[in-house]
């Protein structure tokens, strides 16, 4: 059960778009449409931003979108705002009824 692979950092200027990738294997991301993304501000609990690859929970701005191709999932944040600066984690349901998380990506709004 290896963790999913995310870039450690990403950045963009206000108003720009940024995409964070999440790479897994044929046993997790490629096998299930249960990819989710979480935003975490320092000292806070994670917040669900995307579930089932591309669905947004109520209250999450439509600036956040998700997609998947093969064993790689992506989170795109459009129209970057200062409050988007946070850590982002991907997650996927995996074989043997387990769950994997990525190592996290620190998003900096320049």
Partner 1 sequence: EVHLLESGGGLEQPGGSLRLSCAASGFTFSSYAMSWVRQAPGKGLEWVSAISGTGGDTYYAESVKGRFTISRDNSKNTLYLQMNSLRGEDTAVYYCSKGITHFGYWGQGTLVTVSS
- Inter-residue contact 20 to 88 (CB < 8 Å): yes
Instruction: Specify the residue, 2 or 16, whose C-beta has the smaller distance to partner 1.
Output: 2
Q: Rule CB under 8 A: is residue 3 a binding residue for partner 1?
A: yes
Q: Length of the chain in residues, anyone?
A: 110
The window from 9-17, 22-30, 31-39, 70-78 that contacts partner 1 (CB under 8 A) reads 31-39
CA pair distance 74, 55, nearest whole angstrom: 13
Count the residues of the shown chain that bind partner 1, applying the rule CB under 8 A: 26
Select the span of 21-29, 39-47, 61-69, 71-79 touching partner 1 (CB under 8 A).
39-47
The residue (of 3 and 10) whose beta carbon lies closer to partner 1 is 3
Smallest gap, in angstroms, from Cβ of residue 63 to partner 1?
19
Among 57, 61, 70, 79, binds partner 1 (CB under 8 A): 57
Q: What CA–CA distance (Å, rounded) separates 67 from 35?
A: 9
The answer to whether 3 touches 92, Cβ cutoff 8 Å, is no
DSSP for residue 44: S
């Amino acid at each position: 059960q290896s963790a999913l692979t995310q870039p450690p950092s990403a950045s963009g200027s206000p108003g720009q778009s940024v995409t964070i990738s999440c790479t897994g294997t044929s046993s997790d991301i490629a096998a299930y449409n249960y990819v989710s993304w979480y935003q975490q501000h320092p000292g806070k609990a994670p917040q669900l931003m995307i579930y089932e690859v591309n669905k947004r929970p109520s209250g999450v701005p439509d600036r956040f979108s998700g997609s998947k191709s093969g064993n790689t999932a992506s989170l795109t944040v459009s129209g970057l705002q200062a409050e988007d600066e946070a850590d982002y984690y991907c997650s996927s349901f995996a074989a043997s009824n387990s769950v994997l998380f990525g190592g996290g990506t620190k998003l900096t709004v320049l």
